[in-house]
Amino acid sequence: EKKIDHIITKSISRFARNIVDSIKYIRELKALGISIYFEKENIDTGEMTSEMMVALYSVFAQAESESISNNVKLGKRFNYKLGRVPMMYGTLLGYRKGEDGNPEIIPEEAEIIEIIYTKFLEGYSYHGIAQYLMEKGYKTKKGKTEWKRSVIQGILHNEKYRGDVLVQKTYVVDLFTKKIAKNTGELPMYLIRNHHIPIITPEVYDQVQVECARRNSLKPVSEKTVSKKSRFNSKYALT
């Protein structure tokens, strides 16, 4: 909107974390007649005839970001080896952080987890369980009454409900794009057994995993389906 003429920045590393973004936005702003002053490097893009110095400092800033990122990753993996793992209480139904800092069971939420596991072993589908919970008025971790199939599926496959924690299931592919990918062997995973009090017994949890595998191994609905995935039907007793 042409309301800014000049930008004062502490340093190039505060402006952008990699050389591509740094040069891109400097050029965009310059095209709009906006100059940038970097205090630490004492560079003013309004007086600059060449981008070489900015590019050079941007390389240093990028290297610094990569170094910090690698140090953080190494620190996290060291903690994983010692059994120190984070618990995402904000999205984890059934648990909260106790006064001693360890996971504590929330009874009313644990009841929902037990219902989901029980209904699944009774033959209910993911959709059927979601419908049951909505009819009974049970709420999600975020306080919503709408239950999605993916949420039910995630709960049934979450090893935290049997008292274990598996970390590094996913990893950040690129530091700058923040793209996250599923870990299929690219990095080591860490499984901490008996990390906290379980809501579901290991025997029931294992039965659910076997049942999930059984349903996934069923024949596809049609030979024409591209994915060849089966579709479990809980509508009729004999299916």
Neighbours of 222 (CB within 10 A): 8
Angle value at C-alpha 43, between 1 and 31, nearest 5 degrees: 30
User: Are residues 195 and 174 in contact, defined by beta-carbon separation less than 8 angstroms?
Assistant: no
pLDDT for position 46: 84
pLDDT for position 80: 80
Residue scoring higher pLDDT (220 or 76): 76
For residue 28, pLDDT over 80 is answered with yes
The lowest-confidence range among 66-80, 156-170, 180-194 is 66-80
Q: What are phi and psi of 39, to 5 degrees?
A: -65, -50
User: Are residues 128 and 121 in contact, defined by beta-carbon separation less than 8 angstroms?
Assistant: no
Cα distance between residue 234 and residue 239, in whole Å:
6
Cα distance between residue 207 and residue 200, in whole Å:
11
- Among 202, 200, 88, CA closest to 141: 88
